[in-house]
Amino acid sequence: MRKRADFLACNRGRRQPMPGFVLLMRERKDDNPATRLGITVTKKIGGAVVRNRMKRRFRALARAILPHQGISGTDYVLIGRAGGVEREYSSLVKELEKALRRLQAPETGENHTSSGAKRSHRPPSGDQPPPRKSHAHKGRGKGRGAGFQAGQPAKPHSADNATLSPDNKTSQP
């Protein structure tokens, strides 16, 4: 998968979090029997070398497991998690097989998770980022910054520009 719309569509499907990754699954409505894979590893996982290593491991996992245990006509997305790159390959294989089994099990209802536990009606606590704070403009110009108060003259930007003498007259150094 390469298009953003495909990733977003898969995000609306089912998901199974595991220690090394999160697996998303969505059955497509078209007649294409191909199983498609998308891989996402964000910058918070590490630098380019670490991210590329994780993507190579995910591609190897998918080549080994999805042809046998994946459903044809389905999109899968593997999202890397922070501890995933240090995990043993064999444990990643077991986790992917377990995630596929859980996702392919029939859904038990809208108030149940894929493991069968009853889900509360409260919004998820850790799945969504905290609300954004509104920040004042932090430009790089010589405008009035955080020390500006209405009705007061602006302060000089540095001691080299001007200094105030005791009689509040500007003097040159």
DSSP line for 26-56: EE-SSS----EEEEE--TTS-SHHHHHHHHH
Minimum mean pLDDT range among 116-120, 126-130, 138-142: 116-120
| Residue 160, token pair as written in the block | 């080299």
**In this predicted model, which residue has the larger pLDDT, 38 or 29?**
38
pLDDT for the residue numbered 67: 94
DSSP summary character for residue 117: P
Which has the minimum average pLDDT: 41-55, 76-90, 118-132?
A: 118-132
Decide if pLDDT at 127 tops 90.
no
Count the neighbouring beta carbons within 10 Å of the beta carbon of residue 14. Answer: 16
Average pLDDT in the 39-66 region? 96
What pLDDT does residue 88 have?
Answer: 95
Task: Determine the pLDDT at residue 26.
Answer: 96
Which of the following CATH numbers is that of domain 4-98: 3.40.50.2300, 3.30.230.10, 3.40.50.1370, 3.30.160.270?
3.30.230.10
- The residue ranges of every structural domain in the chain are 4-98
pTM over 0.75: no
How many angstroms separate the CA atoms of 124 and 118, rounded? 13
Collapsed DSSP state (helix, strand, coil) of residue 96: helix
Distances (CA, A) of 50 to 59, 131, 140: 14, 29, 34
Tell me the mean pLDDT in the region 91-97.
Answer: 96
Is 55 a residue whose pLDDT tops 70?
A: yes
The helix or strand, by DSSP H or E, that contains position 25, with its residue range, turns out to be strand 21-27
> Is the four-CA dihedral 6, 65, 93, 54 of positive or negative sign?
negative
The yes-or-no verdict on residue 151 having pLDDT over 90 is no
% of the chain beyond a pLDDT of 70: 62
Average pLDDT on 64-72 reads 94
End-to-end Cα spacing for the chain: 66
Q: Which two tokens stand for residue 171?
A: 């003097």
Partnered with residue 171 across adjacent β-strands are 163
Highest mean pLDDT among 21-30, 120-129, 131-140: 21-30
The structure tokens 């491991």 sit at 57
For residues 26-46, average pLDDT = 93
Within 10 angstroms of residue 80's Cβ, the number of other Cβ atoms is 23
H-helix segments, 70-163: 89-104
Residue 112 has what DSSP assignment?
B
Given a cut of 50, is residue 50 above it in pLDDT?
Answer: yes
